[in-house]
Structures are given as C-alpha cells and as structure tokens.
Structure 1
C-alpha cells in the first residue's frame, strides 16, 4: 500500500538534498515530482497545488550539503499533504451513528457505486464492525439485478451473524429498502445498511432508480464506495454521483492492492467529502477508519 507514492516522495527528497542545487535544478526536480504524483493517481490540479506549496516552502530554505535538508524537505511535504487530508477528516463514524440513533431510534445508510467496487463486501465488513461495537445492524439486499448478488450478501450475513432482508430478483429495489427499514423498526434493529446494484455514473435509468431508493428509504447517510484501483476515474464517478444524488461520505476499497494511493489526495482536494473508511484486505476486520495520521505514517 502506497509503495509507489512513497518511493516518489523519497526520490524527490533525495534529488534535492544530496547536493546543493541551483534554483533551475530545484524547479526541474519539482516538475519531475509533479509527473510522479500524476503517475500515482494524484489528479493534475492537486499535484500542481502540492508542487506550488513545496516551491513556496523551499523559497527561504537554503538547501546545502551541511544542512539537515532531508528533514526540512520531509517536514514541508508532510505539512502540505496534511493540509489536504485534513479537509476530509471525518467525524467519528460510530459516534455519528449513535447520535442519529439517539435522535431517531434508527440510522439508515445507503451505499452506492459502480460495478466491481467491492460495495457488497464493504457493507458486510461495516456490519461486522458495527456489531462488534454493540450496534444492531440489518442489511437490505436491494441489489435485485446482478446475478448472485442476493446469494452473496446472504452468505456474508450468515458468516457475521447479521440479519438480512431479502426479496426476489427483479423486485423493486426501493420497495426492498423501504421494507427493510420497516423490518428494522419492528425487530428493534438500529442500523439499516442498504446494498444497491452497481451502476455506472453515465447510466441515466439506474441513476433514476437510485434516486427513488433514496426518496423512499430517506437515508441518514449516503455513502459512495470507490475502488482505489481505478485511479482518478473514481473522482469523476464521485463527482457525478454527488451531483445527481448527493453523497455524505466515501469509503475507498482495495487500498492493500494499490501501490499508488494518490486517489485519496484527489478525493480530499476535489470532492471535499469525508472519507469514513479504507478497505485494506479481504477479512471482515480489514476496514479501518480513515485518518490523515495513518496515511502519512505509510508515506514517511
């Protein structure tokens, strides 16, 4: 995780600290670093912003053979990246859910994203974590379109010991979501997690269906699940879903398989929505709460 981005940061730091450089040479190194950031899924505008901050921070710093230049550069880069990540530092997710339950008696969360983002597995992981924290989750199997989707979520639910509200393939997803909310109230479950069919952000019909699910289930939180492996395509997906449906936060999956990791900075700077969790593995406990400190520790 982050191996390639970490290497790019180290290479840049080394390139301007191993010997005294002219302003022209430093500028060349910064431009090369911008290229490396883009290669690691940092959006162009965000890479330029990071580079500009580094230029400003280096302006009054004398980089020479006998200064502790590596530490100086690392500190300046940490400052720049921290500033970006702090934008999406979320409130404590479990406290947020608790406060909603305290106010309404039930917290309803709907999840959406494109096909193959790991949404269903992520919902199972979150249900597992919520159960561990003492909540009483129930899952709505509102993906009634994809072959095997109902069996998949049912299998996950059985493994983690969480009830699931099922219907038949071809059923109206909004009706399934609404039915699960009613079931939760009836059986005193306090968190509803609504799984939905993956949909491309360009599919107008499926976006309309998602709007109906939201209208009927009246969720407290709308969470987009994005795949880190698709890079900056995820930024465009989130932007479109946010415009069409509105999102309250993001979960980024498959971070363990992504050596780049720059997507987090793109989401932070461009989307400016809380990143609640990142997925770092296959088992149910491999969903960790997002924090800038965790990310920076991986990079430096």
Structure 2
C-alpha cells in the first residue's frame, strides 16, 4: 500500500538531507555564520564564545529561497501521486512554518525533515468519530445512507460495514435502494443471506425513496439498531441525478451520509466527493481498493478538500477487509512514523 509515494518521500528526505549537509560543510570551510530567525525568548542564557563558534560550524538555517528550491521537488512528487493542488499548498504552508529560519544541527537534518513532513501530512488528514459508539449511544434506529458513482464498490462496502456492526453486536437491516442497476437487488440479497441480515426491497424501477422509507420503518418496528440503505450509482457530472438524492435523504432522514469512492482514481475521486458534498452534503467517506493504491493521493486529499473524514478503507474482497481509518496508520504506511 502506498509504495510509490512512500519510496519517493524517502528519496526526497535523503536527497535534501545530503544537500543541506553539503551546505553545512561549505559553511564550516568558509567560517560563515548561518542566519537564524530572530525569536523573542525570555530568560535565554548567553552562549560562551567557544560554544558560539562551535555552533556556527555545526548548524545551518533553511532560508525561504532554499526551501522553495527543495520544495519544488516535493511538490512534483505529490502532484505525480495524485495529491490535490490545494493539499500540496497546505503541506507547503505547514512546512514553511516548521522549517524556514529554524537552525538545525548536522546529523539531525533527516529527522527534522521527516518530522516536519509527518506533521504537515497529519495536518491535512481528519480523524473520524467512532461510528460504533455513535450508533450505540443513539436512542432508536441509526440510519446510514450510502452513495457514490457506478462501480466504486458501494454494495460490497455496505456488506462489509454490516459485517463489522454485527461483530459489535449491533443489529442491522439493509435497504436495496438501487432499483436501477441490473442485478443490484440480488447482489445485496446474497450478502444479506450470507450475513443473516434482512434486506428490504421493491421491484426494479420503483421509487428508491420508498425503499428508504420502508427500510427505516422496518428497523423502527423491529427495534433494529442500524439501517444501511444502498442507492443507485450516480455520475458526479450528472447534476439532475445527484439532485434526485435529495428526496431519498428527506424521506430516510439519515444520521450519516457516506460517499464511497475508489482510492486508486486519485483526483477524480476527490472531485467526485467534493461535488457530492456541495450538492447534497456528505458526512464521511469510504475509500475502496486502498490495498492496491500505490500513490495515496486520494487518501491525503479528500478530507482536506471536503472537510469530511474518511471512516473506512476497503482493503480486499472479504467482509473483514474494512479498516478503520486512523492517521497514525497512514503515517506508518508512508514510513513517516518511524524513528530516523
């Protein structure tokens, strides 16, 4: 997972470490004094003359000009790995705050770059609330509606989510709200049979809002804790199709609206999520096929662009292959959470 971006980030850190250390070596030879950012500090002890001389040749300060030079390489790496431009700009802003004008000692450059990059990337990720706790603490039925474009893995994600909830002793019912795609109802019914979870359905071409209504009422009548409602895949470029979702939302009154997108589609998935959010409002995101995502651009971008958290990552075809999204896990997979 994230092999392409992980390797390129490691190469960037190593390359820039070497270049900055070369600058330090040149300063040592020339006896130059690095420029340091002026900071107001109280009760700072004055260094002795020998300590100050030693500091001159052991530390350097990253100027804005040098930062812009090394960031050009990082910017290209991020863009090539499908990180949205607005996210690249935010990472740059965070790095400038952490790095520019700050003295750094030789031997600590790699650690400094690694830590700053880790903090910058962490800053664009958004930790989700604990869905299990949210469902359990609500009185009555918790309604989740799932939507996205065709082929993104909505129905499979619904089954995985239902499996996860069932393991937590949360009763579920599924609503077959995709009444347009051929075999969509049968697909959900197969999952329901395997998981021993009821599925509410109507005929094909029937009103999906009616299915949503029936699903909610069935759950409330039978004291089922969570209702998960499927919807027909809608191309995010088709404004009229997206607007049809408004009726389903009005009827089902969901507690959570989740957009499902493919992690491997990069900026396209980010733009899809953004359009859905602007049109009908989303509360969270599931990204499928994260296990084969070499670039991680969507994962780094989608929460910052939409302001909504990623709840889960799909990492395989089995029911258990739905990972809770955690910042620390993403940083570890990018090799940014380890000591250097």
Q: Normalized against structure 1, the TM-score is what?
A: 0.93
Counterpart of 2:31?
Answer: none
Q: Does 1:78 align with 2:114?
A: no
Instruction: Give RMSD over aligned pairs.
Output: 1.6
Corresponding position of 2:94: 53
SS across alignment from 1:16:
helix
User: Kindly tell me: are residues 196 and 97 of structure 1, through their superposed partners in 2, closer, same or farther at Cα, counting changes over 3 Å?
Assistant: same
1:135 is matched with: 170
Kept after mapping to 2: 8 A contact 1:16/1:63: no
Q: Using CA pairs below 8 Å that are at least 6 residues apart, which structure has the higher relative contact order?
A: 1
Deviation (angstroms), 1:25: 6.0
1:97 aligned onto 2:135: yes
The 5 A counterparts of 1:283-294 are 283-294=318-329
Query: Which residue of structure 2 aligns with residue 224 of structure 1?
Result: 259
Aligned equivalents of 2:154, 2:243: Cα separation in 1: 19
Residue 116 of structure 1: which of 146, 151, 172 is its match? 151
**What's the CA shift for 1:11?**
1.2
Secondary structure of 1:277's match? strand
> Where in structure 1 do 4 or more consecutive aligned residues deviate above 6 Å?
none
Does 1:147 pair with 2:147?
Answer: no
Partner of 2:225: 190
Tell which structure's C-alpha radius of gyration is larger.
2
Tell me whether 1:10 sits opposite 2:51 in the alignment: no
1:29 corresponds, among 70, 87, 102, to 70
2:160 aligned with 1:161, yes or no?
no
Give the total of aligned pairs.
294
Q: Deviations over 1:31-89 (max 9, x none)?
A: 0110110111111121122133324423234567x42221121111111111222xx21
**Deviation string for 1:154-201 (max 9, x for gaps)?**
111111221111221111111111111111122221110000010012
| 1:200 aligned partner | 235
Preserved contact between residue 16 and residue 26 of structure 1 (Cα < 8 Å): no
Give 2:295's aligned residue: 260
Distance in 2 (CA, whole Å) between partners of 1:113 and 1:230 is 13
User: How far is 1:202 from its partner?
Assistant: 2.2
Give the structure 1 partner of residue 85 of structure 2.
44
**Deviations for 1:208-240, whole angstroms, at most 9, x for unmatched residues?**
321111111111111111111111112221121
CA contact (8 A) 2:90 2:124 kept: no
Cα distance in 2 for residues equivalent to 1:53 and 1:189: 46
Structure 1 segments unaligned to the other structure (5+ residues): none
Taking structure 1 as reference, are residues 26 and 274 closer, same or farther at Cα in structure 2, changes over 3 Å only?
closer
Tell me the CA shift for residue 8 of structure 1. Answer: 1.8
Secondary structure of the equivalent of 2:17? Answer: coil
